[in-house]
Amino acid sequence: MNSNLHPGQSKSGAAVLCEEISRAFAGTGLVLDHISFQIQPGEFVALLGPSGSGKSSLLRLTAGLDRADEGRLAIDARQGAVSRGFVFQEPTLIPWRNVLRNTTLPLELQGWKIDRAKPRAEEELRRVRLADFDFRNSALFEKFDVVLATLYAFNALIDVEEQRLFLRHVTRCMKSPGVIALDCFCPLPMLKPEANGQWREIERTVKGHQLRLRDKREMLTPLLERRTQVFSIDDGPSAEHVSHRRYVPPQHAELLLSEAGFENVRYLVDYDLGASKAMGEGERPTGPYQLVAER
């Protein structure tokens, strides 16, 4: 925890007092065990620790998004009311709201009327030019004959509504007629059930440096895979990366494409796009697959 003030920075803002905080969750058990700390106004604090050590849980408590099972957490502003901000690890946009309405949401939650919140949100969007990339309101200046969704791009969209929105936005950036190609993964535990939850050790030597990787894949639901990767170079400190991907069954992919206005779906036999051939009529893949569809 680094709580040093920047040079010339005054101690303004809010103080945070955390005393003997504990928090447990069903399935994971005790995450925070009698944590105590104090942050003075104006201090900059960083929480360090491995994945699963409780950093996000502690931040959610501080942001008021959760409540502790035990202990006391108090935030005291020196001037005015306490204002809290929170940046989530994953995108948390509301799919049925456009960019503008997602931007007004924090203001609406603070009690702002929408006619007051919209001008403020529009001002901020103009400042960062984010509105230029809102495909819900306008398509790209140039439209394309072919669109390729690369491996994991589509499967990283966990929610079905996110997948629907992705395909609808793609159609706005395509010519008609046009072709879309989706490169879709299949979870390893679905192909090899014995690999579910098992660590794999991989070592490689590149330009005199030894890279060591520990890789674990596990199915959290019948369709959702969590992949945990732990990297180290030359036996130095390790770094962990956790990702989630949702398997999209071929029949479901067909339905989503049909809803978005695509037709004539064809699957490819070989996983190597350079040597792929179309599957027969009515055939569907049982592992990783690519498909093409027309618009």
Give all strands (DSSP E) within the chain, no chain letters: 14-25, 29-39, 70-77, 144-149, 174-184, 199-206, 209-219, 224-233, 239-246, 263-268, 289-294
236, exposed or middle or buried, with CB in 10 Å at 0-12, 13-18, 19+? exposed
Of 162, 176, 195, the C-alpha closest to 93 is 162
pLDDT value at residue 100: 83
Q: Please state the rounded mean pLDDT for residues 7-25.
A: 77
How are the residues of the chain apportioned to helix, strand and coil, as percentages rounded to the nearest 5?
25, 35, 45
Give the least confident one: 173-187, 205-219, 274-288.
274-288
Instruction: Assess whether pLDDT exceeds 60 at residue 71.
Output: yes
pLDDT value at residue 6: 46
CA atoms within 13 A on the CB side of 81: 3
- Quickly state the pLDDT bin for 41 (edges 50, 70, 90): confident
Peptide bond preceding 193 in cis form (omega within 30 of 0): no
Q: In the predicted model, what is the mean pLDDT of the chain? A: 82
pLDDT value at residue 135: 53
Distance CA 82, CA 17 (A): 14
Q: Please state the rounded mean pLDDT for residues 282-289.
A: 82
- DSSP 8-state secondary structure symbol assigned to residue 91: -
End-to-end CA distance of the chain: 54
Q: For the stretch 1-30, what's the b/e string if a residue is b when 16 or more beta carbons lie within 10 angstroms of its beta carbon?
A: eeeeeeeeeeeebbbbebeebebeeeeeee
Instruction: Assess whether pLDDT exceeds 80 at residue 141.
Output: no
H-helix segments, 186-269? 188-191, 250-259
Distance CA 285, CA 33 (A): 48
- Quickly state the pLDDT bin for 291 (edges 50, 70, 90): confident
Percent residues over pLDDT 90 in the chain: 22
pLDDT value at residue 1: 45
Q: What is the phi/psi pair of residue 223, to 5°? A: -120, -15
Residue entry with tokens 């369709």: 223
- Quickly state the pLDDT bin for 243 (edges 50, 70, 90): confident
Domains of the chain: 14-77 (3.40.50.300), 99-133 (no CATH), 144-186+248-294 (3.40.50.150), 188-246 (2.20.25)
Q: Please state the rounded mean pLDDT for residues 99-114.
A: 86
Instruction: State pTM to two decimals.
Output: 0.53
In this structure, what token pair is assigned to residue 70?
Answer: 């035990």
